[in-house]
Structures are given as structure tokens and as C-alpha cells.
């Protein structure tokens, strides 16, 4: 007969192996069910509404204001995925099909116009075979918001509507495929809950990747703010390098992404990454909480669109303060939090931008 202490030890190991006592497995599962999957399904629904809206607008049963609102909803849902870009959507160049940014040479306008010139009777198959530059929300935004286009003119509306509807369908199908890969029997959600699997040897690897994509997402927000601020152009503002400059939604998108990053940190029920810090690391948790709060407050205090803020000295000063707060939040998680959790961050998708 085995000694009782050995039996207890073996039972404990078995429970950990099943993820019942492993804190990282619990957090990974909680984030999959409480944060990640809801965000992806919300994005899917926003894209369903986008496709419905484009069809209604082009049929004349909805106006331009309604079409723009549906676009802003889809764009906000996509922005919310930026710090959650893990698994299927981060692979196979799929994210580029949703948004093309930075657009340093106005490729969106040029390629949309070239496509419609070559394919005046554009079909969904034509779009599927076209460049990612014209397949996503950035091209959709160009059609609905560019000041040079007037969709109240019947010829203009007719010219662009086939592409508008094709993008809506493409985004709806892409979102459906991605969510399907999350929800399948061995899908992404399951891979974040049951270890080992084809993607992760254990929960440590899953948590490490979740933290990396969150940190990369916050770094991406710095890039999206820093580029129009002229941080790489000797302080000369570059308003047309802003994300969503046509729809003046740059700061709203930043807010949606920031909220998702903070939700990954807290979790849906205080069961996010923060839960992995022990009592002896409470001070670090408080500093990160404070950094999120400061960034949120600075963003909320900006009552004008990004383009207007870039146009005067006081606005640029406020934006630079927001950038600095984002940078502090980024560094806290990239260095202090990663070290506390034993995660090597390494290369991220925004390095070299």
C-alpha cells in the first residue's frame, strides 16, 4: 500500500494537471470565456450589422448617417480586439484584411479608385482576389467619409456601392470564420482551457502569449498616437497618419482598445492577469491600476477630435501627455509585470514601425 503522503502528493499533481489548482490555467480559462470570446462574438455581430447596413444603404432604405453609424460600430469592435489579437486572427495575414494602417502613401484611395476603374461591375470574387488594402474597414471608411466623395449624387453612390457591399460581406464572412475557429471542438477557446494541446504545452505558455499580445496592443496605441503627433518626424504633426482620420474616430478607437487591455488585466470578475500577482506584489498591481486610470482620465479629458487637437499647441501638449501616460502603462507591463510573471516578452509586431 502506498503511504498516505505519497497518495496525497500524486492526487495533488493530478489535480494540477487537470488545471483545477493551477492559477494560470484558471486565469487563462476565465479570460477565454469572460473576455476574449465575448469580444470576438461582439465583433462578429458588429460585422453582421455592417453587411446589413451596406445593403440597406445601397438599396435606398437607409441613409448615410445610419451607414456611418454601422461602420463606427464595426470599427470600434475591431479596435477592441487589438490587445486581444491572439490565435486565428493573428495568423495568415488576416488582420490586414480588416484594417490597413499606417497608410503613409494614401494607398487606400489610390487602390480603391484603380480597382473600380478596372472592375466597374465589381463582384465579391473580385474583392476576394484584390489587395488587402481595399478589402477592409479603411477602404469602407474612405467611401463613406472622404470629403471628396459625395454619395448623395446618384452616379457616385452607384460607383461605390458594389465595393461597399462586397466589403461588408467580406468582413462578415471573415468574422464568422474566425469565431468558428474559436468555438470549434478543438478551437482557440478550448486551447486556452485544456492543456496540453496543439498550441500550448501548458498554461504558462498561454498566459505568456496573452500578456504579450496585450503589451503589443498597448504599444500599438502608442504608435497610433505617436505617428500623427510627429514623434518620428521631429515633432511636425502628421494628421493624415492618424488611424481613422476621415471618420474622426481615432481617439474613440484608442479608448475601445484601452478598455479591452484593461479588461484582460482585471478579467470579467477580478479573474484576469492581475489575479496571478500575490499579496507580496500588491504594490505593482496598484501601480498598474493607477496607470490605467490615469490614461483613461487623460483620454476622457480630450473633448475634441484628434485632428483639431493636433492643430494647436495646447491640443498637442494634451496629446503628448496622453502618449506619456500610455508609455508608462506599456513599460510597467512590459518590464515589471512580465518579470513578476516570469514572461519573456521579446519581439513584438510593432517593433521597427
- Is 5 domain-assigned? no
DSSP state letter for 277: S
Q: Using an 8 Å Cβ cutoff, are 80 and 90 in contact?
A: no
pLDDT in tens, 131-149: 999 999 999 999 999 999 9
Structurally, the chain folds into a number of domains equal to 1
Would you say residue 127 lies in a domain? yes
Q: Is residue 9 part of a domain?
A: no
**Domain with 146 in it: what CATH number?**
1.20.1420.20
Q: At what angle do helices 203-229 and 313-331 cross, to 10 degrees?
A: 160
Q: What average pLDDT score do residues 250-256 get?
A: 98
- Cα separation, 135 vs 271, in Å, equals 37
Residue 353 is predicted with a pLDDT of 45
Q: Is residue 349 part of a domain?
A: no
With 0-12 / 13-18 / 19 or more C-beta atoms within 10 angstroms meaning exposed / middle / buried, residue 113 is middle
In a domain? residue 2: no
4 half-sphere exposure, CB direction, 13 A CA radius: 0
Q: What are the phi and psi torsion angles at 140 (to 5°)?
A: -60, -45
Give pLDDT, residue 20: 53
pLDDT of amino acid 13: 46
In a domain, 3, yes or no: no
**165 CB-side CA count, 13 A:** 17
The DSSP code sequence of 90-155 is GSTTTGGGT-----TT-HHHHHHHHHHHH-TT--HHHHHTS-GGGTSHHHHHHHHH-TT--TTSHH
CA nearest 319: which of 263, 256, 258, 254? Answer: 254
Mean pLDDT of the chain: 93
104 located within any domain: yes
Query: DSSP string covering 5-16, please?
Result: HHHHHHHHHHHH
Distance CA 184, CA 88 (A): 12
Full residue range of the structural domain in which residue 270 is found: 22-341
Q: Is 351 among the domain residues? A: no
- Give the C-alpha distances (Å, rounded to integers) separating 324 from 264, 291, 295, 317, 347: 21, 11, 9, 11, 22
Average pLDDT over residues 177-204: 97
Res. 59: pLDDT tops 80: yes
Q: 127: burial class by Cβ within 10 Å (0-12, 13-18, 19+)?
A: buried
Residue with cell 470574387: 125
The larger pLDDT score, comparing residue 262 to residue 351, is at 262
Amino acid at each position: 500500500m502506498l503511504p498516505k503522503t505519497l497518495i496525497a502528493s500524486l492526487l495533488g499533481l493530478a489535480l494540477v494537471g487537470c488545471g483545477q489548482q493551477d492559477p494560470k490555467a484558471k486565469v487563462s480559462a476565465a479570460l477565454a470565456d469572460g473576455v476574449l470570446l465575448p469580444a470576438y462574438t461582439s465583433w462578429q455581430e458588429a460585422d453582421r450589422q455592417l453587411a446589413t447596413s451596406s445593403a440597406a444603404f445601397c438599396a435606398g432604405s437607409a441613409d448615410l448617417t445610419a451607414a456611418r453609424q454601422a461602420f463606427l460600430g464595426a470599427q470600434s469592435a475591431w479596435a477592441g480586439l487589438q490587445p486581444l489579437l491572439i490565435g486565428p486572427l493573428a495568423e495568415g495575414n488576416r488582420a490586414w484584411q480588416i484594417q490597413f494602417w499606417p497608410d503613409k502613401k494614401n494607398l487606400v484611395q489610390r487602390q480603391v479608385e484603380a480597382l473600380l476603374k478596372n472592375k466597374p461591375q465589381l463582384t465579391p470574387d473580385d474583392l476576394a482576389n484584390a489587395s488587402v488594402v481595399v478589402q477592409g474597414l479603411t477602404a469602407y471608411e474612405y467611401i463613406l467619409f472622404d470629403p471628396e466623395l459625395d454619395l448623395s449624387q446618384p452616379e457616385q453612390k452607384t460607383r461605390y456601392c458594389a465595393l461597399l457591399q462586397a466589403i461588408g460581406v467580406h468582413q462578415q464572412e471573415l468574422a464568422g470564420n474566425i469565431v468558428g475557429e474559436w468555438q470549434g471542438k478543438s478551437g482557440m477557446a478550448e486551447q486556452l482551457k485544456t492543456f496540453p494541446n496543439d498550441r500550448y504545452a501548458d498554461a504558462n505558455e498561454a498566459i505568456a502569449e496573452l500578456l504579450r499580445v496585450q503589451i503589443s496592443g498597448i504599444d500599438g496605441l502608442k504608435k497610433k498616437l505617436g505617428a500623427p503627433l510627429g514623434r518620428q518626424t521631429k515633432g511636425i504633426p502628421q494628421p493624415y497618419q492618424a488611424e481613422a482620420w476621415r471618420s474622426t474616430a481615432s481617439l474613440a478607437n484608442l479608448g475601445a482598445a484601452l478598455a479591452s487591455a484593461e479588461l484582460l488585466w482585471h478579467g470579467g470578475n477580478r479573474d484576469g492577469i492581475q489575479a496571478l500577482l500575490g499579496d507580496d506584489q500588491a504594490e505593482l498591481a496598484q501601480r498598474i491600476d493607477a496607470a490605467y486610470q490615469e490614461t483613461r482620465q487623460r483620454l476622457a479629458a480630450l473633448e475634441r477630435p484628434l485632428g483639431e487637437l493636433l492643430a494647436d499647441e495646447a491640443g498637442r501638449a494634451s496629446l503628448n501627455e496622453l502618449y506619456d501616460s500610455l508609455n508608462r502603462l506599456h513599460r510597467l507591463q512590459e518590464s515589471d509585470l512580465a518579470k513578476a510573471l516570469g514572461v519573456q516578452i521579446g519581439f513584438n509586431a510593432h517593433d521597427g514601425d
